Structure 1
Amino acid sequence: MFQLDDKFLQDVGLGSLPEDQKKAFLDHFREQLELRVGTRLSEGLSDAQLAEFESFIDRDEARVNEWIAGHVPNYQEDAVFKQLQAGAPANIPPLVVLAEYASLRWLGLNRPDYKQVVASTMEELKAEIIANRDAILGIDQPGSQQIAA
């Protein structure tokens, strides 16, 4: 879908951030994206639906297994599960992969527009960053010095 990396920073005009600030900025961006996407996706869902989804996030093994058994009992045959499993680091517990898979399947059933929500939220955040790029970089701010070209 998208990568939050040096290319992303270049795309939004923040490629010149000092190395020690890049990771912090990307972490902050990821947190904001998750918060905004989660807020938008939760709109219109019942308390029961939210609790069910939270059980995947919390990696509640019993609830994850129960949901999988009831909705995708042949999950091991699913290409999405196989891709998640293959892409997971060796030290990731199987429950983490299964909960991630369950959350993706759940979103597909309960919020089939989730990919569009993520994409539009990502674009909105990128636009905010671009609009505030100079302030983020400390350019044209009182007390900052500009380098003449």
Structure 2
Amino acid sequence: MAQSPEMRASDADRDRVAQVLRENFAEGRLTSEEFDERLERLYQSKTYGELAVLTNDLPATDLRLYRERAETPAKRAQKSRKRAQTLSAMWVPWAMASGINWVIWVLVSMSSDGPVYPWPLWVMGPWGVVLLVITLATGLGSGDSRRSSP
């Protein structure tokens, strides 16, 4: 079905035009002021005709090519591997440092006359809490929870 200039545009249509404007700005076809002005007008636009005015002096662009690309299973698997690597890069040093500190604490405890304060808790506690907050806040530990729904 052909789109008439009077037909109302969707948010996805505006997002595609914004992407076109960003690309043309990056290529130097628009000044910073023009880009800002067009973006402002873009998000006030209601129809396809108003959207077309924003890009009519730019090289011809087929907005259908700017549809959101669906994530392929390979991309999802790659993101999942990257999440696992990020988690590993964060938590492995913490676990190693904590383990080393506990070994030192055990050796000191065995060679002392009385009980020794469990100081490794002060090393692993704050660091672990920060890592936990980062993991939960960024959704790193949740597998594909950030994946967009189809």
Q: TM-score, normalised by structure 1?
A: 0.28
Higher RCO, 1 or 2 (CA under 8 Å, sep at least 6)?
1
Choose 1 or 2 for highest CA Rg.
2
Q: TM-score, normalised by structure 2?
A: 0.28
